[in-house]
Structures are given as C-alpha cells and as structure tokens.
Amino acid sequence: MNAPLQGHTASNPIAAAAEALLSVDHVSLEYRTPQRVVRATHQVSFEIDPADRFVLLGPSGCGKSTLLKAVAGFIQPCEGEIRLQGQTVHAPGPDRIVVFQEFDQLPPWKTVKQNVMFPLLASKTLKRKEAEERALHYLDKVGLAAFADAYPHTLSGGMKARVAIARALAMQPKILLMDEPFAALDALTRRKMQEELLLLWEEVRFTLLFVTHSIEEALVVGNRILLLSPHPGRVRAEVHSHQYDLHSLGGVAFQESARRIHRLLFDEGQSPETERELDFSDIRIAY
Ligand SMILES: Nc1ncnc2c1ncn2[C@@H]1O[C@H](COP(=O)(O)OP(=O)(O)O)[C@@H](O)[C@H]1O
Ligand SMILES: [Mg+2]
C-alpha cells in the first residue's frame, strides 16, 4: 500500500457540511458501585464521518473501552448524548458491531462459516442460504475461504482475529467498533493484521471506531486520532493521520508525529528539555 490513504470525508467541503454518521456529544460515563462512583470519561465529544478510521488513543484506564461500550449501546451516558445518523443511541443494535480483544469469543462447536453466519441468523437479518452466501463472501475477503469448515481451535490467533472481523463485517454495520482487537497477538501477527485491516478497508470502505493504547498502532490504523487524557478521560486533542500506513513505520515524519502525540498525551506543559530527551523508544507504549 504505497499511496496515502484517503478516507477522511471531512476534507471534502460537501461531505463536511452533511451530518456526521456518529456524534458523541459531551458524553460523561460513570460506573456506580455500592461504595463509590467512578467517572470513566468527562464530557467527551467527537464526530465520525462515513469511511473514517477513527481511533481513540489514551493510556490504560482512560475510558476507551467504556466509550466504545456506550457507542455500542451497552452503557448509557450520565451526561451528554450519542447519536447515530441523528438518532439517539439507547440500546445495542445490529448497526453497531463490536470486535473485542478476545477471539475466544468464537463458539468452539461451530465451524468458521457457522460462526460468521450465526449473528446474521440470530438477528434474523438473513435466511440460511443468504447468510451462508454472505458468510462465504466475507470469509473470502479476509482470506479464509479455504477454512470455512474448520473449527476455531484449529486456527492461529491471527486467523481467529480474521474470523471475528469477517463475522462483524458480514452484518454490514453502519460502524464497526474494535476494542484493542490485536492486543493479544504477537508483534509480527499484529503488524500483519493491521495491514490486512487497511487492505480490507480499501476494498469495503467500512466506518471504523478503533480503540488502542499504542501510538504506533493509532498512526498506522487511523485517519483521525482522538487523544484522551488519563482517568477520567477528557479530550486532549484530535490529530489527522491519514498520511501514514505500515510503510511509514520508523520514518522521520512518522516518528515526529508519534513524539508529538506522546507529548500531547503525557507531557503537556513541560519544558523543551524534556521534549528533547524523548527518543523513539519512549513513545512505544504498547509494543
Ligand atoms: N465495571 C466497572 N466497574 C467499575 N469501574 C469500572 C468498570 N469498568 C471500568 N471501570 C473503571 O473505569 C475507568 C475506565 O475504564 P476503561 O474504559 O476500561 O479504560 P480503558 O479501556 O481506557 O483502559 C477505569 O478507571 C476503570 O477502572
Ligand atoms: Mg480497554
């Protein structure tokens, strides 16, 4: 993939004038336990346009997963509102599908194809024959057509990740939600999955909301990155990163962007001496 990725429709003035696909509007999220109230995010706002690869980036505990769960409809904001195409999100729905980090979410007694068909049948989106066709179509897209009849335990971690992605995309959601989907994979497989995700996006042009605590992964996967401060998560900045892909890793401009993001996340307001002391090893917070 040598050409820069062009996914951000907001650079197009006509698209920018249209309503965002997803609006997260001053959203605060809390967990209430008998002992105390934990505020996970504080008045977070962002908008996602169609075909964006939008990344939520921040340190562990800053509320990324909680935000994703709220967009999915599993948690209600205590303040603010989440809207999908202008409609307030109140509950989970087949228009928002989540891919989690744990691929053992695939039921082991179902074949790969049955796993991909399952949500289509359970949600009554399609009849069996159409569900099978759609499952095979997306398994082909993720390079697993030959493994349609295999069982999950016979697959590698990367292959299970691809099944989970195929299963989510087969539902043709308005927005695909991914919570650190490659975090459990070894570094090389993780790189490969990032590359495959970008290739798949070039082909299908789905809209992605992707959570990570890795600056590198955010720069590679995203076209826009929302930086969240530590607990409770607040918006620090939004940066554009559509110019990067896996081929940019280690390049001067990529490293400079990674350093800038690191400063925005952790060193805001500190002296220039501190900034000069940063080297590339400092900005790898995930690998
Ligand atoms: N079920 C829960 N009950 C109480 N507190 C929680 C629960 N889940 C998460 N939290 C707290 O909410 C904050 C945000 O968590 P989370 O969204 O998982 O962060 P991240 O995904 O960025 O690591 C953390 O302080 C975490 O301890
Ligand atoms: Mg999380």
Q: State whether the beta carbon of 28 lies less than 6 angstroms from ligand 1.
A: no
Three-state secondary-structure class, residue 225: strand
As a residue count, the chain comes to: 287
**Residue owning the nearest CA to atom 4 of ligand 1:** 31
Q: What is the structure's pLDDT at 177?
A: 97
CA angle, residues 193, 195, 199, in degrees to nearest 5: 115
Give the Å distances, CA to CA, from 248 to 39, 59, 187, 245.
Answer: 37, 23, 17, 5
**Residue owning the nearest CA to atom 11 of ligand 1:** 40
In whole angstroms, what is the distance from residue 215 CA to residue 282 CA? 11
**Residue owning the nearest CA to atom 6 of ligand 1:** 31
Substitution site in 37, 65, 100, 178 for ligand 1 pocket (most atoms within 8 Å of beta carbon): 65
Q: Are 211 and 179 in contact (CB under 8 A)?
A: yes
Q: What is the structure's pLDDT at 184?
A: 85
In whole angstroms, what is the distance from residue 192 CA to residue 197 CA? 9
In whole angstroms, what is the distance from residue 97 CA to residue 253 CA? 34
Q: What is the structure's pLDDT at 241?
A: 86
Q: What is the structure's pLDDT at 277?
A: 36
Per-residue confidence in pLDDT tens, the chain, 287 aa:
344 433 344 445 555 456 799 999 999 999 999 999 999 999 999 999 999 999 999 999 999 999 999 999 999 999 999 999 999 999 999 999 999 876 567 889 999 999 999 999 999 999 999 999 999 999 999 999 999 999 999 999 899 999 999 999 999 999 999 999 998 889 999 999 999 999 999 999 999 999 999 999 999 999 999 999 998 999 999 999 888 887 888 789 899 999 999 999 886 554 443 333 333 333 333 22
In whole angstroms, what is the distance from residue 174 CA to residue 71 CA? 12
For tokens 């505990």, name the residue: 61
**Gap from CA of 121 to ligand 1 centroid (Å):** 32
The pairs formed by 84-93 with CB atoms below 8 angstroms and a separation of 24 or more are: 84/21, 84/22, 84/174, 84/175, 85/19, 85/21, 85/174, 86/19
CA angle, residues 60, 272, 44, in degrees to nearest 5: 35
